[in-house]
């Protein structure tokens, strides 16, 4: 009977921790991206505010109707910028960020940041 209780309650405890962390993250990550600026004809710099995160995932789409793809996972929470290269002049790119905390073996994501655009000339 004791073994059964351990199997049942351990996952519930982890679920409680994860849900608590998720609630906090949804409240924190509302306006994460500060700026996206073209550095030259092939690069754009994305900058954001530091929050108490374990890391960030950066997503990008080409054009207003483009599909977003994850372009970078940053594993250091204190990192607050990323430069995307291999962009093409004449295109507009859209970026957003998701911050995450690691709880056990799982990543708990905050809300999606605001979307910022940059036109490469």
44-48: strand order across its sheet: 33-38, 44-48, 81-84
- Give the count of domains, the chain: 1
CATH (domain of 12): 2.60.40.10
Q: Which residues of 43-56 are buried (b: 16+ CB within 10 A; e: fewer)?
A: ebebebeeeebebb
Residue 3 clears pLDDT 80, i.e. is over it: no
**Mean pLDDT over residues 98-109, rounded?**
85
> Of 52, 114, 119, 38, nearest to 83 (Cα)?
38
Residue 39, CA distances (Å) to 83, 111, 116 in order: 9, 28, 15
Q: Which of 37-46, 78-87, 88-97, 111-120 has the lowest mean pLDDT?
A: 111-120
Please state the rounded mean pLDDT for residues 56-63: 94
Domain of residue 115: give its range. 2-119
Record the pTM.
0.75
């Amino acid at each position: 009977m004791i073994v059964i209780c351990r199997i049942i309650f351990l996952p519930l405890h982890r679920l409680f921790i994860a849900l608590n962390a998720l609630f906090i993250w949804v409240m924190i990550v509302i306006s994460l991206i500060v700026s996206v600026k073209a550095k030259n004809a092939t690069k754009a710099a994305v900058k954001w505010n530091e929050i108490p995160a374990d890391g960030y995932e950066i997503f990008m789409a080409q054009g207003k109707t483009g599909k977003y793809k994850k372009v970078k996972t940053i594993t250091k929470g204190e990192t607050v910028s990323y430069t995307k290269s291999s962009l093409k002049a004449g295109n507009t790119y859209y970026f957003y960020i998701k911050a995450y905390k690691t709880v056990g073996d799982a990543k708990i994501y905050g809300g999606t940041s605001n979307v910022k655009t940059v036109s490469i000339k």
